[in-house]
Amino acid sequence: MKDLIRDASLSAVKVANKIAYRYVSEVRNQRVFPDADALAGLQHFDKPLPITGTDCQQVLEQLHTYGSPATVATTGGRYFGLVVGGSTPAALGANIITSAWDQIALMESSSPVANQLEKIAGRWVLALLNLPSEAFVGFVTGTTMAHVSALAAARHYLYQKQGYDLAEQGLYNAPELKVVLSEEAHISVLKALRLLGFGRSQFIFVPCDDQGRMIESAVPDFSDNMILVLQAGNVNSGSSDNFHALIPKAKKAGCWVHVDGAFGLWARASKEKSALVEGVEAADSWAVDAHKWLNTPYDCGMCIVRHKQTLREVMTTSAAYVETQDMWQAKDMLPEFSRRARAVEVWAAIAELGSQGIEALVDRCCLYTRMLAKGLVSLGFVILNDIVLNQLVACLPDIAMQRAMLQKVQQSGECWFGQTTWQGREAIRLSVSSWATTEDDIQRSLEAIAAAIDEIKQQAI
């Protein structure tokens, strides 16, 4: 029986590795978005609950035959939709290895290797982003859960200063807190606040300038019952709030300052771009994704909190069967009790690239974004944002043509980007975040846009 179990697992790994190899070898030539036939093929999976099982190899082959063609090729070089990177070779390999390991990244006794690599990866991240070395780095599913974790710590911290015991007394009669945030705050911040029980009446939205930055003169007077949420990298423009001016004022008044730095915080890794986020290190907490500019596989965010004891008081999990001597175990610092070893991929990506490689990746993506902007201008587009990072927002004077162009480009499968609304204008948005993107990918994408516009013009004649 033991040999049968081993052989079954080995067979699954062998078949899966072959499929993964085939997919990775073909992904750069694959359509970026699946065509109608590939989408129709997904119906193959829609069957009644099986009564008897199916051979493992057949199950995996079905996934490849009908699933692989219906994927979005985000790991290729021409996906400019959501702000996600591909997966670097080492990060991809680490993902495969951690799947084989199937570790419970709860505490040292449940996985010594996951615990050790999580601590090392956290230390490396703080060094890369030039954030306080005493801060805690926790690996969560993404920026949304990073916000939830950090803002829960913020709420606890402010109530503690007011002498209110939230753990004992709950929210019902709790003193009111206010949250000061940008009118351009990302939806993940608002979702996190709702999950924590904050209501719209507690939000103070600050108007923004034409690049999505908080207007400093419109910021209210700060007080010690406030959380200030700032932004490193507006999801449309890529611009950041003025941390150097706003954070010291807020901290002096007793605010907790949290920074949504999902992708923009990675500007800290670049000497050329770090000035854009100068002063962000003075905040109390930060949220950032590894699956964006660090290019790890998806489902990997980081919650970084300066006051780690405060975070522990909110998140600690006590049970006789999980007691440990180390008070900074993941189980006591983060929301998830069931955790995969996602920090292994972060460790692998940083080990593979090094600080110089990560800096080069950030700078290269910013260069390609400027190349896209220049090419779009030559095609008649108006660029609506200052190209400061990897985000580009543009529009055609003829909105009907813009909509038709977008549809044709998406249907072509040559590249993929989406629609947005920026400063009240319907526009397209392109985000360049992948290590796999090359200059050739940029040119091919511009050619696809130009071909779509030409086709529309010809049809109008």
pLDDT > 90? residue 416: yes
Overall average pLDDT of the 109-130 stretch = 96
The DSSP string of 56-71 is HHHHHHHIIIIIGGGS
Q: What span, in angstroms and rounded, lies between the C-alpha atoms of 291 and 454?
A: 36
Distance of CA 195 to the CA centre of its chain: 19
Q: What span, in angstroms and rounded, lies between the C-alpha atoms of 45 and 66?
A: 8
Q: End-to-end CA distance of the chain, in Å?
A: 73
Overall average pLDDT of the 156-175 stretch = 92
Overall average pLDDT of the 19-38 stretch = 94
Across 334-346, b (16+ Cβ under 10 Å) vs e yields bbbeebbbbbbbb
pLDDT interval class at 212 (50, 70, 90): very high
CA atoms within 13 A on the CB side of 400: 3
Determine the 3-state secondary structure of 420 from DSSP: strand
Determine the 3-state secondary structure of 314 from DSSP: helix
CB 314 within 8 A of CB 297: no
pLDDT interval class at 5 (50, 70, 90): low
Hey, where are the domains in the chain? 4-72, 93-350, 355-460
**CATH, domain range 93-350:** 3.40.640.10
Q: Can you name the residues that pair with 305 across neighbouring β-strands?
A: 136, 285
pTM: 0.95
Residues of the chain with pLDDT > 70, as a percent, come to 97
What digits encode the pLDDT tens for the residues 240-262? Answer: 999 999 999 999 999 999 999 99
DSSP E strand boundaries for 238-381: 256-260, 285-289, 301-305
Overall average pLDDT of the 309-327 stretch = 78
Residue 414: how many CB atoms within 10 A of its CB? 20
pLDDT > 90? residue 323: no
Q: What span, in angstroms and rounded, lies between the C-alpha atoms of 321 and 382?
A: 61
What pLDDT does 320 receive? 55
Determine the 3-state secondary structure of 153 from DSSP: helix
What digits encode the pLDDT tens for the residues 326-358? Answer: 778 888 899 988 899 999 999 999 999 999 999
What digits encode the pLDDT tens for the residues 429-444? Answer: 999 999 999 999 999 9
What pLDDT does 434 receive? 97
Helix or strand holding residue 115 (H, E) = helix 112-129
CB 363 within 8 A of CB 390: no
Overall average pLDDT of the 311-331 stretch = 78
What pLDDT does 331 receive? 87
Helix or strand holding residue 194 (H, E) = helix 187-195
Q: What span, in angstroms and rounded, lies between the C-alpha atoms of 51 and 71?
A: 28
Q: Which long-range contacts (CB under 8 A, 24 or more apart) does 349-353 make?
A: 349/88, 349/90, 349/91, 349/94, 349/290, 349/294, 349/295, 349/296, 350/121, 350/124, 350/125, 350/128, 350/294, 351/90, 352/88, 352/89, 352/90, 352/91, 353/88
CB 304 within 8 A of CB 126: yes
Q: What span, in angstroms and rounded, lies between the C-alpha atoms of 275 and 379?
A: 32
Overall average pLDDT of the 362-391 stretch = 98
Determine the 3-state secondary structure of 29 from DSSP: helix
Crossing angle of helices 143-161 and 187-195, rounded to 10° = 50
The DSSP string of 279-294 is TGGGSSEEEEESSSTT
What pLDDT does 300 receive? 95
What digits encode the pLDDT tens for the residues 383-410? Answer: 999 999 999 999 999 999 999 999 999 9
Under 8 Å CB-to-CB from 216, ≥6 apart: which residues?
242, 245, 246
What pLDDT does 322 receive? 63
- Chain mean pLDDT for the chain: 94
CATH classification (class only), 355-460: alpha beta
